[in-house]
Amino acid sequence: MTENKVSSGAIAFLFPGQGSQAVGMGKDLAEKYPIARQTFEEADEALGYTLSQLCFEGREEQLRLTEVTQPAILTASIAALRVLEDRMPRPAYVAGHSLGEYSAHVAAGTLSFADAVRTVRYRGKYMQEAVPLGVGAMAAILGMDVEKVTAVCDDAAQGEVCDPANINSPQQIVISGHTSAVERAAKLASQRGAKRAQLLTVSAPFHCSLMQPAQDRLEADLNALTFHKPVFPVVSNVDAKLISDFDPARDALVRQVTGSVKWDQSMRLLMASGVQTFVEVGPGKVLCGLMRQIDRTRRCANVGDEASLQKALEQLATAA
């Protein structure tokens, strides 16, 4: 590629998790850039079915199936990353939201793309099968800090599971657990001053102890894979710590199935490490939206299609 590479101080690449999927994701990048097309072809070969067709023109309900969603988002993210890599300097750090941590490890060379895409397919399957439909639920609590949300969960549990699952920003925390406990917690949060408490349409109660059967199955899969030392630090969102070696990387991916996603803390760690510019690589703009809630002074661009790629390159060139 002959395009000028953009320079803009310390940069971190962020990779989205489940919920950012949309029919059509990756299609225009695959049509314009051979490297993106090749990425989808690699995924199709690794999985043994045409994931690319589901991403480009499948039905939304198919794409929402967890064992399809996870490899689909990872593939669209890595396709966007490979297009971007020729046009920007190397990031200083990478991070991913839940599933996105696998994309981050592919970016850092910790895992091969083929291994990652196969693993997250089974990760999705195991998570879906861990809890019977209807037994678990998740809810978003808006406008209430993590200490108060934790207290709400403790008071609502009544012997059942109810935990903070995604600490996304100071204004947005998602809770997870048994359906009745989550419903009690949502009601209690509203009574105690939350701006909003809303049950989410999800297929399983992710990131809580009910996911232990999935974690056990996934651990066996991860132990069978070859991990490499990351070429740049990856944020482990279960600990909000930087990882620079392969054993801690594997361990963090195991523990994040039942552990909460400490996204707010992870972003603050990167800011404290000198990151000024964040680039969300993959479908959607969820992580840029969360960054606005965490710290509006930081630059955040997203790259998921041709239009957003060009816009991001312009934004970052102006900021350089």
Task: Judge contact between 165 and 261, C-beta under 8 A.
Answer: yes
Containing domain of residue 261, as a range?
Answer: 11-130+210-319
Query: What's the number of domains the chain is made of?
Result: 2
> Of 202, 226, 259, which one is at a domain's C-terminal end?
202
**CATH label of the domain that carries residue 153:** 3.30.70.250
Predicted TM-score of the model (pTM): 0.95
Whether 115 is in a domain gets the answer yes
Do residues 115 and 18 share a domain? Answer: yes
Residues acting as catalytic residues: 98, 207
pLDDT for the residue numbered 7: 41
Task: Judge contact between 284 and 16, C-beta under 8 A.
Answer: yes
Do residues 145 and 52 share a domain? Answer: no
Task: Judge contact between 194 and 202, C-beta under 8 A.
Answer: no
Instruction: Kindly state the tokens that stand for 73.
Output: 């988002």
Report the C-alpha dihedral over residues 233, 236, 237, 240, rounded to 10 degrees.
Answer: -80
pLDDT for the residue numbered 5: 46
Do residues 17 and 82 share a domain? Answer: yes
Do residues 33 and 124 share a domain? Answer: yes
> Of 164, 179, 202, which one is at a domain's C-terminal end?
202
Do residues 195 and 221 share a domain? Answer: no
pLDDT for the residue numbered 202: 85
Whether 5 is in a domain gets the answer no
Do residues 226 and 117 share a domain? Answer: yes
Whether 312 is in a domain gets the answer yes
Do residues 266 and 224 share a domain? Answer: yes
Q: Measured between alpha carbons, how far is 77 from 82 in angstroms, rounded to an integer?
A: 9
Residue by residue, pLDDT tens for the chain (320 residues) are 334 344 446 999 999 999 899 999 999 999 999 999 999 999 999 999 999 999 999 999 888 889 999 999 999 999 999 999 989 889 999 999 999 999 999 999 999 999 999 999 999 999 999 999 889 999 999 999 999 999 999 999 999 999 999 999 999 999 999 999 999 999 999 999 999 999 998 889 999 999 999 999 999 999 999 999 999 999 999 999 999 999 999 999 999 999 999 999 999 999 999 999 999 999 999 999 999 999 999 999 999 999 999 999 988 887 65
Whether 2 is in a domain gets the answer no
Whether 6 is in a domain gets the answer no
Do residues 117 and 186 share a domain? Answer: no
CA angle 89, 275, 145 (to 5 degrees): 140
Do residues 55 and 168 share a domain? Answer: no
Inter-CA distances, 241 with 12, 95, 173, 250, 295, Å: 14, 10, 19, 14, 19
**CATH label of the domain that carries residue 269:** 3.40.366.10
Return phi, psi of residue 198, to 5°: -130, 125
Do residues 264 and 118 share a domain? Answer: yes
pLDDT for the residue numbered 2: 32
pLDDT for the residue numbered 318: 74
